[in-house]
Amino acid sequence: MAGGLCHITFVTKNLDRMEKILTTVMKARKVEDPGADEFTLTKERIFQIGEGLSSVWIVLIEGSVDLARSYNHVAFIIREEDVEERLAAIEALGLDLHDGHPHGTGRGLHGEEGHSIYFYDDDNHMFELHVGTLEDRLRRDDRSKGAPLA
């Protein structure tokens, strides 16, 4: 069995634009900007989201991107009190919000599972900002199946 998530790598046409999305919307911290060096073939930047063992690093690599939009996405946890601020940051950057969600908790709406905000970056990567835990999701699923809660 694998352990926790280590890092996520995104290929992007515009490192500066993607950096602005990560630092503004996700509150990421840039930890390295090696550019292109002897270890990489392209320009890259490394960011950290969160702290300690629950943090994840994001690697951005400059390159050609030709992604079709899909529901494949990466979700990040946010606090309930940060929903409006994050939504405003997404809108201020002119990013495309995605309203449809199969669980009925789309764009800034509060469902039993918590708020979820879905948006696309300029390269058609989809991101989710989510309030809630796996336990919340399982509890909701158990209720919908009529199972007693533990």
Q: What is the CATH number of the domain that holds 56?
A: 3.10.180.10
Q: Give the whole-angstrom CA distance, residue 124 versus residue 118.
A: 12
- Both 55 and 126 in one domain: the answer is no
Tell me the CA end-to-end span of the chain in Å, nearest whole number. 26
Residue type, 63: G
Task: Please pick, among 19, 44, 62, 128, the residue that the annotation labels catalytic.
Answer: 44
- How many domains are there within the chain? 2
Average pLDDT, integer, range 56-67: 92
Helices (H), 41-133: 83-92
Can you read off the two tokens belonging to residue 35? 């550019």
126: confidence class by pLDDT, cuts 50, 70, 90: very high
- Both 13 and 57 in one domain: the answer is yes
pLDDT tens-digit series, residues 13-58? 999 999 999 999 999 999 998 876 666 678 999 999 998 878 899 9
- Both 28 and 75 in one domain: the answer is no
Check: CB of residue 10 under 8 Å from CB of residue 58: yes
Last residue of a domain, one of 15, 34, 64: 64
Can you read off the two tokens belonging to residue 114? 């918590």
- Both 49 and 111 in one domain: the answer is no
- Both 81 and 133 in one domain: the answer is yes
Q: Give the whole-angstrom CA distance, residue 49 versus residue 92.
A: 21
Phi/psi at 127 (nearest 5 deg)? -120, 150
Last residue of a domain, one of 17, 44, 64: 64
- Catalytic-residue membership of 62: no
- Both 15 and 55 in one domain: the answer is yes
- Both 37 and 109 in one domain: the answer is no
- Both 4 and 54 in one domain: the answer is yes
pLDDT tens-digit series, residues 73-118? 999 999 999 999 999 999 999 999 987 555 444 444 445 556 789 9
Range of the structural domain that residue 9 is part of: 1-64
- Both 138 and 71 in one domain: the answer is yes
Can you read off the two tokens belonging to residue 42? 């392209």
Q: Give the whole-angstrom CA distance, residue 77 versus residue 88.
A: 17
108: left (phi over 0), alpha (psi -120 to 50) or beta: left
Can you read off the two tokens belonging to residue 4? 């926790």
